[in-house]
Structure 1
Amino acid sequence: MDIRPALESDLPELLALESQSFHSDRISRRSFRRWLRHHDRVFLLAVDQGQALGYALVTLRRGTRLARLYSLAVAPQSRGRGVAGALLKAVEQGARDAGALYLRLEVASDNQPAINLYRKLGYQQFGCYEDYYEDHGSALRMEKCIRPYAPGGDSRTLPWLAQTTAFTCGPAALMMAMAGLPGGYRPSPEDEIQLWREATTVFMTSGHGGCHPLGLALAAHRRGFASEAWINIEGPLFLEGVRDENKKRVMRIAHRQFVEQCAAARIPVRHADIDQGQLTERFQAGANILILISTYRLDNMKAPHWVVLSGFDESCLYVHDPDLGDTHPRQAADAQRSALDCQHLPIARDSFNAMSRFGSSRLRAVVIVEAGPGTAPTPAPAT
């Protein structure tokens, strides 16, 4: 048995393997062709004397240290020969060589042979998707650290939520942060839109306005939480992405109102950089933290985007990303993500420094949310 990279000329064999292995949720010819040409993946084929035995496809999340086993298939007549295990070990090495720290996967909850294989190779279950497949079957969520790092500081319960529009990453991130603190806050679609209405900058580039850090801090304060904002520049934000002078005028007014309202509410606003040490210290002390990033390293879009810190270790910071990709019309179906791809994303610390600055102004913005008066924060254990 030889394991080699899959080639475009292997497309007929890949389609045959797919047809023999799966009754539903099959990868289409178009999707196979796309993945064969894609850069952010590890795609391997097992062959024996010219006959295709099986394939494994792993996708890599740009800008992060996370990989995902997208599909693994072995021809029925080749099962029992160790093909699946050999392919899995090979794609793990490929993902490791690409810099990934973790490999995640979904497997049908009734596919006991596959579950046994994954457990034998060191994968651990950390969740379950109900009604995941076309036949309404559920899927177990499994993960393996493929590099010898032990994540820490993320043992608190921090829920993950998806944004429901292309412009509500800020509200979704804030709902995660508030729901992960004492106080009994319950997220809802209605509050997602209400939070956006309270925190929006009104305009941003050519689309709907995004959320201002001071607006998010105010929204948390109104819901009974203690909040604090760190912004490394003074003055109105995001103006560089807007050409229309009247829009800029409105954004300056909105910024001035946010500043005045924060002062009236006695919300601390610090015009300084906050470093990774300070972020992790506040996280360990019980705060949940929203961080503004540029999506350039994730999708080449250079858009401002809010995420939530979910943990850290010596090599990475981990974040919950509310963006599944399906709210963006230009996002190809094959590039859309599962919830598994968006939780506890491992981002290397050196990459994080660059990712957490936006635009030519090098804007860095953080909103820290803590339990309000009368509630006791629950600190994460020291690492």
Structure 2
Amino acid sequence: MDLVFRIATPQDLPALTRLEQQCFTTDRLSPRSFQWMVSRAHARLIVAEQSGQLLGYALVLFHRGTSLARLYSIAIALEARGLGLGKRLLERIEACAREHDCAYLRLEVRADNPTAIALYERNGYRRFAVRHDYYQDHADALRLEKRILQHRETGSVHVPYYQQTTDSTCGPACLLMAMGALQPARPLERREELQIWREATTVFMTSGHGGCSPQGLALAAWRRGFGVRLQVNTHGPLFLAGVRDAHKKDVMRLVHEEFCAELDRSEVLQVLGGPLDLPALLQGGGQPLVLISSYRLTRSKAPHWVMITDCDEEFVYLHDPDVDHSQHRQPLDCQHLPVNHGEFAKMCRFGSGKLQAAVVLYAPQDKPRTL
């Protein structure tokens, strides 16, 4: 009789508990924990059975508001090992995670369990960290991760990736990416990253170097010969509420007023509006830089620029120029990040005033369309 894979029910609790006792000597899930996972947790517990006998299970936990899932536990009965059941359970767990709009699946595995490590690495999981003294017997855990939702590039334009080199140059880094997408031969250099920052900053941080305003970035792109659409949902200098120093506020106002005066003399298309029509902008050849609140990425309430690379019915894909928001991240992990549309809509409203801002670049021979 073929194996049957299904969602666990409360009737499976005795068999799950027996399997747990057979497979693990420490860090076991208790009957009460299984009860919680089956009936109340934001999780999916899949069991494999044959002729009414439970031969294995896999448990995945979901985190609301993120694109991450965690493989919490997987167990295979002794008599079912070596038959490929672990791989089949992994495939079903990954499918469940994708159904929950998860882009990454993470897990912990004992560092002294080469069989389990080999299973995961054969199936595309990579090591990205070690947790010392993780288990009850003080054994270390390897942390592994797999990107289970790959970017489906629907557009014809390749957007290169550039990592910002300072805390304040997310905007210039995104502008370099947009210009590189429209001019593939254009080098992405730190010299220009810093020059753009000098042109576009309004010094709106409360301390240290300041960040770049949408007006400043729009002008920097226009000066370099690109078609530019600037869309902001409010008038006036931005981020004044976060600055206490009156002198600094005066500087910000003066810089903003000069930006606005130069914008009025430029060919930048200025639009007063809120949400972006990303599919139309991308189909029209635009390369959008969008201001977001970094809170949903780092839990720090700071404005942050990201580069939109694509969108489809499920996700907005973005390049995040900041690789430092997780000590385990690499540049590859910050490219074409899928964010579901609902989460993105929340992300791109900054502060109590729900600020929305975007700078959209077009090839020099094109003009931005009024949308």
Same fold (TM over 0.5): yes
Aligned to 2:309, the other structure's residue is in SS state strand
Instruction: Give the direction of change, closer, same or farther, for the CA distance of 1:218–1:292 in structure 2 (3 Å limit).
Output: same
Instruction: Give the direction of change, closer, same or farther, for the CA distance of 1:259–1:115 in structure 2 (3 Å limit).
Output: same
Q: Do residues 358 (structure 1) and 364 (structure 2) align?
A: no
- Give the structure 2 partner of residue 345 of structure 1: 337
Code of the aligned partner of 1:347: V
Instruction: Give the direction of change, closer, same or farther, for the CA distance of 1:12–1:340 in structure 2 (3 Å limit).
Output: farther
Q: Do residues 182 (structure 1) and 174 (structure 2) align?
A: no
- Give the structure 1 partner of residue 283 of structure 2: 284
Instruction: Give the direction of change, closer, same or farther, for the CA distance of 1:57–1:197 in structure 2 (3 Å limit).
Output: farther
Q: How does 1:103-182 map to 2 (within 5 A)?
A: 103=104, 117-118=123-124, 143-144=148-149, 151=152, 153-182=154-183
Q: What is the Cα deviation at residue 339 of structure 1?
A: 2.4
TM-score under structure 1 length normalisation: 0.65
Unpaired runs of 5+ in structure 1? 15-40, 47-52, 106-110, 124-128, 134-140, 378-383
Deviations 1:301-337 (A, max 9, x none): 12111011111111221111111126xxxx6x3xx42
Deviations 1:145-173 (A, max 9, x none): 6xxxx956344211112111211110111
Q: What is the Cα deviation at residue 3 of structure 1?
A: 10
Q: Do 2:180 and 2:186's aligned partners in 1 also have CA atoms closer than 8 Å?
A: yes
Identity rate, percent: 39
In the aligned structure 2, how far is the partner of 1:11 from the partner of 1:57?
21
Instruction: Give the direction of change, closer, same or farther, for the CA distance of 1:92–1:103 in structure 2 (3 Å limit).
Output: same
In the aligned structure 2, how far is the partner of 1:339 from the partner of 1:104?
18
In the aligned structure 2, how far is the partner of 1:144 from the partner of 1:311?
14
Q: How does 1:1-383 map to 2 (within 5 A)?
A: 63-64=65-66, 66-67=67-68, 80-82=82-84, 84-86=86-88, 88-89=90-91, 91-92=93-94, 95-96=97-98, 99-103=100-104, 117-118=123-124, 143-144=148-149, 151=152, 153-182=154-183, 184-273=185-274, 275-276=275-276, 278-325=277-324, 333=327, 336-373=328-365
Aligned to 1:204, the other structure's residue is in SS state coil
Q: What is the Cα deviation at residue 211 of structure 1?
A: 0.7
Instruction: Give the direction of change, closer, same or farther, for the CA distance of 1:178–1:342 in structure 2 (3 Å limit).
Output: same
Instruction: Give the direction of change, closer, same or farther, for the CA distance of 1:352–1:112 in structure 2 (3 Å limit).
Output: same
TM-score under structure 2 length normalisation: 0.66
* Equivalenced residues, count: 304
In the aligned structure 2, how far is the partner of 1:240 from the partner of 1:70?
42
CA RMSD between the two structures:
4.3
Instruction: Give the direction of change, closer, same or farther, for the CA distance of 1:195–1:299 in structure 2 (3 Å limit).
Output: same
Q: Do 2:205 and 2:243's aligned partners in 1 also have CA atoms closer than 8 Å?
A: yes
In the aligned structure 2, how far is the partner of 1:187 from the partner of 1:233?
31
In the aligned structure 2, how far is the partner of 1:11 from the partner of 1:262?
68
- Give the structure 2 partner of residue 126 of structure 1: none
Q: What is the Cα deviation at residue 199 of structure 1?
A: 0.7
